[in-house]
Amino acid sequence: MRRPLALLAVAVSTVLLGSAVPVAAAPDSDSRETGAGSLAWSSCGDAATPALQCAMLEVPVDYAHPDGRKIKLKLNRLPATAPKAEQQGPILLNPGGPGDSGLWMPAYITGQIPADVASTYDWIGFDPRGTNGSEPHVVCDAHYFDGERPDYQVSQGTEKAWLRKAATYAADCAADWSWILPHMTTVDSARDMDRIRAALGAKKINFYGGSWGTSLGSTYGQLFPTHVRRMVLDSIVGPTISWYDHNILQDKEHQRRFRAFAEWTAKADSVYHLGTDADTVIKKYYAVEDALRTTPVSAAPAPGKIGPAEFEDTFYGGGYNFLRWPRMATVLSGYLTRHDTRPLNIAYNRYATPGADDGAFPNYNATQCTESAWPRDWEFWKKDQAKVNAVAPFYTYNNMWYNAACMFWPYQGGPGRLKVTGKGLPPVLLFQATEDAATPYAGGVAMRKALPGSKLVVQNGGSFHEILFHGNACLDDTFVAYLRDGTLPSGKGLIAKTCAPGADPAPTYVEPAVTAKASVTALSPTDPEAVHGRF
């Protein structure tokens, strides 16, 4: 039976929030090849990519006890097809999350770069431990995200419902998965990557990681610097910031991106009829949210209804990917000027509907809640988050409740995120947009300073989260040149190269009749409007 955790929100003692505690780790401390496991590759049965191969790899649950209980990782690969003398070894891929699947990445990325470069690598995707096709697939509450959820706004008196929900989720996870949850940190995943390297028979690997994948890659480089050949980090999590503090940075950057959306919409008043200034557009956004509090909209074919929480979830992804802006503006315009809720229904089903289970959420919590200290007292959260909400109301309480299980997580607080120094690493290529809301610009600067031999490429004015593969030749050509022969930007100083942003999307009213079919299908990770995880 599951054992619900008693709701101790105001009774638990406060843990004061501090910086992440540096952890000393000897480089290559887990470099033994013994027990590395083996890979039996077979066809994935993918008709679109018949060359794609799949395998499972056995790894230890606890690397402190490598001969103990084992789990399995799901891997796939697109093998190199260039002549043997031209091949450059495996490149492992991770899109972030934490916990998002990387199995879509080999076929997608090789389709975005020149064939003569793609053919020289073995492209390796994998599902992080406990997620997706890896075994076990950890599920704590398959219905956690079902709608209609309690209102995110504390002012609506739903805090007890959310505290109970978060506490029960943490307790359910602990009741069913106590044997693996303490071993789902970034360091554990980095050690898994080295088991993959060893099983591939490679002395060194190449790596591309986006979002949380930049934390994974830099952690791997700190543990195993001599096992790194080339490394690319795209949209960067700062190497020392605590996860709690990172969320606050996200809140403030999402507020900026929301205002940018409102300014863009206001310039297109002839299309959307929502006002000619950003403040008017923002007021109309909140008018729709208020209306949904009293009259929620059917979410069909998704379960439940679209209330204010579901409405917010439909919109926050615009901070990750501005290609969503035309549909977001259409949602507001349809609701307010045409009394039409179909655009909202379609956008919710494309962007925010829950999956068949809680997806990567257990891994997300187990990674973040476990590896850095979080406040444990609701009164601290309430006061601190209210200060943030006063300047960044668009995302603060949404983000707070998404992370609230960390208040109750039983495996929490230490020893802290691994300190990254770059010692022994080859030059790392870094990509960062200045307007990225999910992994703010400061993280890219901090990583550049932590890795003295690295090169930072900045998209000045860019806002995509994970900025490669969106058709920007300045960025993509830099990536390709590095993969081709190790060429790095020649610029000196903090920023080695600056690229221009792409143009804003054209304002278009997205007619519901044209997109109705999309309302029954969640976005593919390769869809231009897709976003990956929260980091």
Interacting residues of 8 by C-beta distance below 8 A, sequence separation 6+: 167, 408
Q: Which of 134, 189, 211, 242 is catalytic?
A: 211
- The Cα–Cα gap between 203 and 201 comes to 7
Q: Which of 127, 176, 313, 436 is catalytic?
A: 436
Q: Which of 227, 254, 465, 532 is catalytic?
A: 465
475-514: b or e for each residue (b if 16 or more CB lie within 10 Å)? bbebbbebbeeeebbeeeeebbbebebbebbebebbebee
Residues 221 and 417 sit within 8 Å (Cβ to Cβ):
no
- The Cα–Cα gap between 100 and 103 comes to 9
Token couple for 483: 């993969």
- The Cα–Cα gap between 264 and 271 comes to 11
Residues 365 and 533 sit within 8 Å (Cβ to Cβ):
no
Q: Which long-range contacts (CB under 8 A, 24 or more apart) does 204-207 make?
A: 204/89, 204/228, 204/229, 205/89, 205/90, 205/91, 205/92, 205/229, 206/88, 206/89, 206/90, 206/91, 206/92, 206/121, 206/230, 206/231, 206/483, 207/91, 207/92, 207/93, 207/94, 207/231, 207/232
- The Cα–Cα gap between 351 and 299 comes to 12
Asked about 436 being catalytic, the answer comes back as yes
Active-site amino acid positions: 211, 436, 465
